[in-house]
Amino acid sequence: MSHNPDHTRPEHAVEADEPRPRITVLSDTAEGPASIERLRDYGDIRVAHDETSLREALPGSEILLVTDFRTEALEAAWPAADSLRWVHAASAGVDQLMFDALVDSDIPVTNAQGIFDRSIAEYVLGAILMFAKDTRANIAYQQQRRWVHRDTESIFGKRVLVAGAGSIGREIGRLCKAVGMDVTGIARRARDGDEVFSAVHAADDIDAHLPDADYVVVAAPLTEATEHWFDARRFAAMAKHARFINIGRGPIVVTDDLVDALVNQQIAGAALDVFEQEPLPAEHALWGMGNVLMSAHMAGDFIGWRDALIDQFLDNLERWQRGDTLFNEVSKHHGYAPGSA
């Protein structure tokens, strides 16, 4: 299900005789997200923001809406979930929800697949053009009031390897292809190329394809299989002129290895929106590196994303109330929504 950033939806009809679902919202603040007011028309809402408040809220709740993608409270409070029939993550990544008790249960988990794709793809294309056009140096020269002409790179025909050829990776590929780049994907299993990916190789074969890439983009979910996927060996396999872009999850990368690869000029640069530790501590070496572009886990967060997330949840809530199959159900075995990698 694809949502573009300007997505709006008609009001849901509330039937007076429909039983109101009991929904707990797990937020990162005590008051919950601002958009929570919109939910009150559709169910009895309780807000939790830590383990204690979650233990109080969960008993009797049928639905859990997780808006804090960093939470570890749910695993701790899980024994209080006595009536839960559906968990929805208002994020693309569900890594914090893949603990044994939930994975082993029959409770379906859905995610926000589709919401962030377009904005993340724009972020990635912007980062690629920043590198190619040497924009970072333009800004530095401007600050020094110096007129310094250089020749810069074209992105035409340049090769992008997208590690994680799912919903987000495909949109990244689509934008890069649209502007004349050559796009290859990496997925769990190899499959035929298509209108976006000239080829999709298996994750096991990634080392054979890393040397050919001008840009390597991580768009994979964080799972046991992808944790620390990009380590010293992977960076050593990349071309010296290549740039590394991570919009997936921080722990997919061994950060110390990435810093070494950048310092030792094994790769030419990195654009990072996600980090092993978030917020990244002020003393971390990455902040000071001139060949690194950084942002605060915000690549997907276009203006209006909170409302778009609520819209998507309400679409699924309607299905749930009708007894229909939910969309964006996560494969708890793989740790992401089917078709997303």
* Residues acting as catalytic residues: 249, 278, 297
Number of Cα atoms under 13 Å in the Cβ half of residue 102: 29
Helix (H, G, I), strand (E, B) or coil at 249: coil
As a whole number of angstroms, the distance between CA 116 and CA 167 comes to 9
- The DSSP bridge partners found for residue 215 are 160, 243
Nearer residue to a second copy within complex by CB, 146 or 322: 146
Nearer residue to a second copy within complex by CB, 125 or 254: 125
Q: How far is the CB of 95 from a second copy (least distance, A)?
A: 19
Q: Which amino acid is at 188?
A: R
132 in Cβ contact with 154 (< 8 Å): yes
- DSSP 8-state secondary structure symbol assigned to residue 331: B
Q: How far is the CB of 134 from a second copy (least distance, A)?
A: 9
Helix (H, G, I), strand (E, B) or coil at 56: helix
Nearer residue to a second copy within complex by CB, 136 or 191: 136
C-beta atoms surrounding 90 within 10 Å: 25
As a whole number of angstroms, the distance between CA 143 and CA 141 comes to 5
Q: How far is the CB of 76 from a second copy (least distance, A)?
A: 25
Q: How far is the CB of 182 from a second copy (least distance, A)?
A: 12
Q: How far is the CB of 128 from a second copy (least distance, A)?
A: 9
As a whole number of angstroms, the distance between CA 64 and CA 289 comes to 41
Nearer residue to a second copy within complex by CB, 234 or 297: 297
Residues that bind a second copy (CB under 8 A): 4-6, 118-119, 122-123, 125-126, 129-130, 132-133, 135-136, 138-139, 141-143, 145-157, 175, 178-179, 278-280, 282-284, 287-288, 292-298, 301-305
Nearer residue to a second copy within complex by CB, 23 or 125: 125
Q: How far is the CB of 324 from a second copy (least distance, A)?
A: 29
- Residue recorded with tokens 């080392």: 207
195 in Cβ contact with 170 (< 8 Å): no
Q: How far is the CB of 286 from a second copy (least distance, A)?
A: 9
As a whole number of angstroms, the distance between CA 288 and CA 292 comes to 8
Token digits of residue 213: 């890439």
Q: Backbone phi, then psi, for 210, in 5-degree steps?
A: -60, -40
18 in Cβ contact with 321 (< 8 Å): yes
Nearer residue to a second copy within complex by CB, 4 or 325: 4
As a whole number of angstroms, the distance between CA 120 and CA 92 comes to 11
Nearer residue to a second copy within complex by CB, 205 or 212: 212
- Residue recorded with tokens 């996927």: 229
67 in Cβ contact with 27 (< 8 Å): yes
